[in-house]
Structure 1
Amino acid sequence: MADNTITVVGNLTRDPELRFTQTGRARAVLGIAVNRRWMNRQTNDWEEQVSFFNVVCWAEMAENVSESLAKGYRVVVTGRLEQRSWETPEREQRSVVEIVADEVAPSLRWATAQITRIPRGAAGDAGVPRERRDSPAWGAGGGAEPSATAPAQQYVPEEEPF
C-alpha cells in the first residue's frame, strides 16, 4: 500500500484563515515556512534553504487551529500530500500541492503551551461552527435550530482554491 504521510515542522507565515463551506463545514488554511540550515564544509559558512507549504485543516481541527495559532508560531503538522487542479475565470489551468492535516500541534522546543480540552457537543451540533453553537441564539437545547439573530457564516465552496 502506498502512503504519502508527511510531517513538517516550521513557522506560520500568516494567521490561519478560517472559512465555512455551504454545508457549514469549517476549513482553515495556514502557511508554513520550513527552514533547513547546514554548514558548507568548503566555505565554512552556514547556508539556508526555506520551503513554503500550504496546510488545509477541516472540521473542528480547523476551528481549533484558527483559535489557537497565529503568525510566527512554530508548529508540527502531520498529514498527507494532495494535489488539486482547477480552471481560472480566464480559462487557465492551475494546480497546487498542499498538505491536508491529520494533526497540528504547537512545537514545544522553544515555547510552552496550555492545553484546553473542548467537550464534545450534543448529537445535533455536527457541522455547526463553534461560535454559533456557543451563542445565546443557538438555544439551551444544544441541538435546537438557531434563531434568525445568529451571526452569519462566511461560506466558501469546498473546491475553491486559496
Structure 2
Amino acid sequence: MSGETYVTIIGKVHEDPGLKFNDGGGAVARLVVVTNPRKFNRQTNEWENKPGKFWDCRAWNQGKMLLAENVANHLKKGDNVILYGEIETNAWEDSEGKKRRSDQLRIESIGKDFRWHQAPANDVPAAAADQGWGGGDPAATGQGGWGNPGGQTY
C-alpha cells in the first residue's frame, strides 16, 4: 500500500514493556522508546543534548510470529534498541467533545543495539577456528567454501 510512513528509531526503552491479550487471544506489547538527539556546537566545541522525543510503540503477534511476547520477555527499561515501524495516527473525541489525535509506532522489527549491550558469553558459542562459517571441513563434505560445489574457488 502507498502512503505509509516508516521510520527507523535508535533509542532507549523508557519503561518496562507491558503485555496484554485481547479477547481473541492476540497479544500486544506496549513500550515507550525515547530518543535523545545530540548536536555538536561549533562555537563551544562541545556536544549538547537536545530535548528527547518519546515514541509510543506497539508490537503485535501475527500468526506464528511472537513479536509482542518477545518484546515483553526480552526487553527492559534502559535497553538500547533499534526499531523499524510504521507511524500510525489515532483520532478520537474526548469526554468534552474535543477532537484529539496521537501518533504511535506499529513495530515491524526491533532488537537490542549491540553497540551498547554485551551478549552473554553462553548466548552463542563461538565457531571453532578450524570450522569456519559453515561448521566442518569443506573438503570433507565436498563443498568448497561458501557452498561452492566440489571445492571450486573463484
Determine if the alignment matches structure 1 residue 19 to structure 2 residue 25: no
Q: Structure 2: which amino acid aligns with 1:94?
A: R
2:59 to 57, 63, 68: 57
- Report the TM-score when normalising by structure 2: 0.68
1:75, distance to aligned residue in structure 2 (A): 0.7
Task: Could you tell me which runs of 5 or more consecutive residues in structure 2 were left unpaired when the two chains were aligned.
Answer: 125-154
Please, which runs of 5 or more residues in structure 1 have no aligned partner?
117-162
| Structure 1 residues 23 and 89, CA gap change in structure 2 (3 angstroms) | farther
CA contact (8 A) 1:83 1:97 kept: yes
Aligned residues: 116
- C-alpha distance in structure 2 between counterparts of 1:113 and 1:56, whole Å: 25
Q: TM-score, normalised by structure 1?
A: 0.65
RMSD over aligned CA atoms reads 1.9
Q: Which residue of 2 aligns with 1:94?
A: 100
Query: 5 Å matches for 1:119-130?
Result: none
Q: Name the amino acid aligned to 1:68.
A: H
Corresponding residue for 1:73? 79
Q: Answer yes or no: is the 8 Å Cα contact 2:29–2:71 preserved in 1.
A: yes
What is the one-letter code of the residue matched to 1:63? E
Hey, what's the Cα distance between the residues in 1 that align with 2:76 and 2:45? 35
Contact 1:106 1:113 in 2 (8 A): no
Structure-2 change in CA distance of 1:95 and 1:3 (3 Å) = closer
Q: How far is 1:36 from its partner? A: 1.4
Q: Are the aligned partners of 1:55 and 1:98 in contact in 2 as well (CA < 8 Å)? A: yes
Q: Distance in 2 between matches of 1:113 and 1:55?
A: 25
- Matching residue's letter, 2:43: Q
What pairs with 1:29-44 in structure 2 (closer than 5 Å)? 29-44=30-45
User: SS of the residue aligned with 1:65?
Assistant: helix
The 2-side partners of 1:40 and 1:68 are apart by 37
Separation in structure 2 between the aligned mates of residue 92 and residue 71 of structure 1, nearest angstrom:
34
- Identity over the aligned pairs, expressed in percent? 33
Amino acid at match of 2:116: W
CA distance in 2, matches of 1:112, 1:61: 22
1:113 alignment partner in structure 2: 119
Q: Which has the larger radius of gyration?
A: 2
Cα 1:113–1:89, aligned 2, differ >3 Å: closer, same or farther? farther
Query: What letter is aligned with 1:33?
Result: V
How far does residue 23 in structure 1 lie from its aligned partner after superposition? 1.2
